[in-house]
Amino acid sequence: MRKIMLAMLLFLSLALALGALSEETQPDVDLTDLDTVDAIDALYGLADAPEANLGKVVRLTGYLAYSKWEGEEAFLLISGGASCCASQVEFVPSEAPEDLERLTLSDEPITVQGVLDIFNNGGYDDIRLIEARIERAAL
């Protein structure tokens, strides 16, 4: 676990120094062209092998869900329309969107691109995207 944490810190330091997620950054894993079922399957694949995918730039489209509880902000990207088939991934935006309220109340999909990270979620390792950039989805 310490090796993973050290690797994450080194990668993040390097990524921040090099401006990892500029407008021109090409994703290592682009799920935006996949249909909902294939995108969810690919997302589960990333979660099943988080160490192998740590630090990869991932891009996906979905709907924004936002909550604030006990001072902690949570940004979730929900992919899939039906609750039986939906999947979600947490992300940490590099900067808060100016139109956060409108985006959370909208049926407008967004695309998020960020660096895959592993974090402790209630005693379990889970994945999230950090240094994430939010953009409007082109459908």
Residue with tokens 């080194």: 10
Q: Is 40 exposed, middle or buried (0-12, 13-18, 19+ CB in 10 A)?
A: buried
Residue 4 has pLDDT above 70, yes or no: no
Q: Which two tokens stand for residue 121?
A: 């979620």
What pLDDT sits at residue 28? Answer: 95
Q: Could you list the residue range(s) of the whole structural domain that residue 21 is in?
A: 2-136
Q: Give bridge partners of residue 118 from the DSSP assignment.
A: 127
* pLDDT tens, residue by residue, 114-128: 999 998 888 888 899
The bridge status of strand 110-121 relative to strand 29-30 is unpaired
Contact 88, 67 (CB under 8 A): no
pLDDT of residue 38 exceeding 60: yes
Whether residue 107 is predicted with pLDDT greater than 50 in this model: the reply is yes
- Amino acid 118: pLDDT: 92
Could you give the count of Cα atoms lying within 13 Å of 7 in the half-sphere of its Cβ? 14
Amino acid identity of 130?
I
CA distance 129 to 36: 19
CATH number of the CATH domain containing 27: 2.40.50.140
The number of folded domains in the chain is 1
Interatomic CA distance for residues 24 and 7, integer angstroms: 24
